Structure 1
Amino acid sequence: MTLALAAPAVTAQTCRDAVPATRPDSRFITDRDGTVRDLNTGLMWKRCVEGLSGMGCERGKPRLLTWKSAMQQGRHTVFAGYADWRLPDQTELASLVEARCYGIELDAVSFPNTPAERFWTSTPAPYYENSAWMLHFGHSAISFGTESDVGFVRLVRDRAACSPASPQFCVIR
């Protein structure tokens, strides 16, 4: 028997203009290499959710991963000339939430086609062994997932991490 999972629907985003943006568009710089630089945190994000590609993240299908697989995904990813991608911690992932929007609660221009679903963080949850915190981008809820749960992944890196001082993370373009 084959179990087919439907691709998650991308939820329409509605933003309340009367509410000031918590994450203004000027904060994020979208680069042609498929990355987004956050000028406030100094982090560099993969623009697309794992499994998607293209400038508008229009190709492919978002991948659902267990926490263990999500952690490994970051360690084994080489993208845009960098090999030091990782799963974000709870605070880093929550820094993307745009509170004035609903449907999908993040900058949908900088991060297109993001499912309004649960995303893994690298932050362990204290409830069960091998559990971690997850953030739901549909309604900004924080919950935890166990080793049998699946979630989506958006990878991040520290922009300054790939340097002559840490050449093991650098990839020559």
Structure 2
Amino acid sequence: MLIGCVLAGSLSVSAVSANQGSIFPDTGQSHRYDTQGKVLLASDDVLYQGQDASQQGNPLRYRDNGDGTISDLNTGLMWQKAHVLKRRNLKKTHEHVSRMTLGGYSDWRVPTIKELYSIAHFDGQLIKPGESGQRQPYLDFNVFEFQYDPRLAFAGQFWSSTLYVKNDIQSFSKHGGLQGGFGFNFADGHIKAYETGLFFDGTVIKPSDRMFVPGCYVRAVRGTTSLYDMDYVDNGNDTVTDRSTGLMWAKNDSGKRMNWVEALAYADKADLAGYDDWRLPNTKELQSLVDYDKTSFPAINTSFFNTSLRDFDSENNSYYFWTSTTQGDFKWTANYISFAQAWSKKNSKATEYFDWHGAGAQRP
């Protein structure tokens, strides 16, 4: 259940130059939708200014190296091309990747969640039985291999190396609860924290604990990028520049909740620090601000960004931020990033909320 969203800091990509070492990749989204999920024509955007697909970003660019590896020409990272249908817990995943010699390289590793998210392609859609259309993963499947789980088509979770360090996930109390590790689901386009195979205090989950740990897939990476260093500069005019990405952000959030159409208009009409080209960030841009290593809420650097909320202890003060990117599975919705707990319930009949997916989760 979405309690309400706070507008994310708008940004201007023309105010500063992009990082010269790496180029921030676009989402790949090519279609715009209204709040009924219908495709918008170019002349039908009066209420939807600034939607992701109407903005020109840096196109996703890859090179197939012919040896089972793919080079990302934007970030400079090298990726495993294949999708191996083998699920492992996070510890076994790290062990598996450390032994890889794909392409003659031995420095493969599990990607961070920001690195993994960089190859997401938001023209994806997971078509449900009985619906028209053709499913396609949230990934450039002309470049990368991807296979849907033959039993559960929506189960396309891939591990990142990024642990959820702020608290445990879901609703278990044993050994401090469950430890979460972030992953991206290339089948349904969500970032969530998944059970790593450990309790939050580091205790290994054993069969006798009767905890189901399904595990995730992995797409290994090698190399480095400076895009996610979060190298901020306070410009002294209520804006903050991230020298890593070349993006300029509003220092303050909107201070009030609004729906998505209102948020698009709010950003489009903003006139801040002498710039008039502010817009709602796309989902990759906004996710670049998440501080996954911070052990407290909110998951953003509060030395540079001001937050309108001070308490983050219940679903009533959730801290969700809109993006300009619509969600392919539910085209009448848009993605948001949670900068505090990503509240959810066990099922529709339950009444108690838990931090199910973690600060830094992306959901529609």
Is the TM-score greater than 0.5? yes
Question: Pairwise mapping of residues 96-115 of structure 1 onto structure 2 (< 5 A)?
Answer: 96-101=289-294, 102-113=296-307, 115=309
| TM-score, scaled relative to structure 1 | 0.60
Alignment match of 1:118 (pick from 301, 314, 320): 320
**Unaligned 5+ residue runs, structure 2?**
1-5, 7-164, 167-226, 313-318, 341-358
Is 1:143 matched up with 2:363? yes
Contact 1:23-1:107 at 8 Å conserved across structures: no
AA partner of residue 100 (structure 1): D
For 2:271, the equivalent position in structure 1 comes to 78
For 1:32, the equivalent position in structure 2 comes to 236
Q: Distance in 2 between matches of 1:127 and 1:23?
A: 28
For 1:92, the equivalent position in structure 2 comes to 285
**CA separation of 1:29 and 1:46: change in aligned 2, threshold 3 A:** same
Contact 1:29-1:36 at 8 Å conserved across structures: yes
Secondary structure, counterpart of 2:241 in structure 1: strand
Q: Distance in 1 between matches of 2:360 and 2:331?
A: 24
Q: Distance in 2 between matches of 1:114 and 1:98?
A: 17
- The Cα offsets for residues 55-79 of structure 1, whole Å up to 9 and x where unpaired, read as xxxxxxx110100111111111111
Q: Distance in 2 between matches of 1:96 and 1:74?
A: 17
Is 1:133 matched up with 2:335? yes
Q: Distance in 2 between matches of 1:114 and 1:63?
A: 8
Question: Pairwise mapping of residues 11-50 of structure 1 onto structure 2 (< 5 A)?
Answer: 27-50=231-254
Alignment match of 1:68 (pick from 227, 247, 261): 261
AA partner of residue 362 (structure 2): I
Q: Distance in 2 between matches of 1:23 and 1:107?
A: 13
Shift of 1:24: 5.6
**CA separation of 1:24 and 1:42: change in aligned 2, threshold 3 A:** closer
Shift of 1:23: 6.1
AA partner of residue 245 (structure 2): T
- The Cα offsets for residues 118-140 of structure 1, whole Å up to 9 and x where unpaired, read as 10000101233431000000111
AA partner of residue 307 (structure 2): N
| TM-score, scaled relative to structure 2 | 0.29
- The Cα offsets for residues 38-61 of structure 1, whole Å up to 9 and x where unpaired, read as 1011100000001xxxxxxxxxxx
Q: Distance in 2 between matches of 1:39 and 1:114?
A: 24
Q: Distance in 2 between matches of 1:126 and 1:23?
A: 25
Q: Distance in 1 between matches of 2:324 and 2:332?
A: 11
For 2:162, the equivalent position in structure 1 comes to none
Contact 1:122-1:132 at 8 Å conserved across structures: yes
Shift of 1:100: 1.1
Greater radius of gyration (CA): 2
**CA separation of 1:74 and 1:44: change in aligned 2, threshold 3 A:** same
Q: Distance in 2 between matches of 1:109 and 1:95?
A: 16
**Count of residues in Structure 1 that have an aligned counterpart in Structure 2:** 114
AA partner of residue 141 (structure 1): A
AA partner of residue 250 (structure 2): K
AA partner of residue 77 (structure 1): A
Shift of 1:36: 0.1
Shift of 1:113: 2.0
